[in-house]
Structure formats: C-alpha cells, structure tokens
C-alpha cells in the first residue's frame, strides 16, 4: 500500500508570511495526526483528527495555526503569520482504527522561517 504523502518536502519563508502543508494519509486510515518536530526534540502533537472531526488540538497555537481535514481524507495545516520559532519539521501520520495499531509517518516538511 502507498505510504503517507506530504508536500512540499522543504519550504523557506520570511517571518510573517503564510505557509500551507498538505498530507494524504494511507487509504482507509481514519486517524490523522500533525506533529511539530523541532531539531533535537521528539514530535509534539499539534492536532489529531478522527475522520474529519478534531479529537485533540490542545497544543495547536490557534492564533496562527489552523488545520482541516475535508471529507476525512486529505488534510492541510496552515501557519499565518509564521514566526522564527516555527522553524521545524512538520510530520503527518495516520493510523487504522484499533488501539493496537501504530502510526505510519510521512517524510515530513522541513520549514525554515527567516
């Protein structure tokens, strides 16, 4: 089966600009996660979707970050406006139903904010 797809792979922007990331999960995976991974740290959960509903967005900086998952499939994560501290890798992961199932990760989008 095809893996989790993410685009773009790399993005460089100036601070205060906007940026959007796209994720296509594995077909049939109901749960989708967006993580922020700062260099040298573990992934930090930004938002979790179950189908097209939000399960957890408690760590999403809602004043500048937004995410949606239309029709319970693809998802986009937007940052507007970006800050220097948003420089990180943004990982998307998906998971089948069932607690035992692991997350499958995409290759990530490396964002550099100048």
Partner 1 sequence: AQTVTQSQPEMSVQEAETVTLSCTYDTSESNYYLFWYKQPPSRQMILVIRQEAYKQQNATENRFSVNFQKAAKSFSLKISDSQLGDTAMYFCAFMKGNAGKSTFGDGTTLTVKP
Nearer to partner 1, 82 or 93 (CB): 93
Q: Which of 91, 109, 111, 113 binds partner 1 (CB under 8 A)?
A: 91
Query: How many Å from the N-terminal Cα to the C-terminal Cα in the chain?
Result: 37
The helix/strand count (H/E) of the chain reads as 0, 11
Using the rule CB under 8 A, is 9 a contact of partner 1?
A: no
Number of residues that bind partner 1 (CB under 8 A): 25
* 8 A C-beta contact, residue 15 and residue 114: yes
Helix (H) or strand (E) holding 7: strand 5-7
Which residues from 32-61 bind partner 1, rule CB under 8 A? 33, 35, 40-45, 48, 50, 55-56
Single out the residue of 79, 44, 42 nearest to residue 58, CA to CA: 44
Q: By CB under 8 A, name the binding residues for partner 1.
A: 3, 31, 33, 35, 40-45, 48, 50, 55-56, 91, 93, 95, 99-100, 102-103, 105-108
């Amino acid at each position: 089966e095809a893996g989790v797809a993410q685009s773009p792979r790399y993005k460089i922007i100036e601070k205060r600009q906007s940026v959007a990331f796209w994720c296509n999960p594995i077909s049939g995976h109901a749960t989708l996660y967006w993580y922020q991974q700062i260099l040298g740290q573990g992934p930090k959960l930004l938002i979790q979707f179950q189908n097209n509903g939000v399960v957890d967005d408690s760590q999403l900086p809602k004043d500048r970050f937004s995410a949606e998952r239309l029709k319970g499939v693809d998802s986009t994560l937007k940052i507007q406006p970006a800050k220097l501290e948003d420089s990180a890798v943004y990982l998307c992961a998906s998971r089948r139903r069932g607690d035992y199932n692991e997350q499958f990760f995409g290759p990530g989008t490396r964002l550099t904010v100048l």
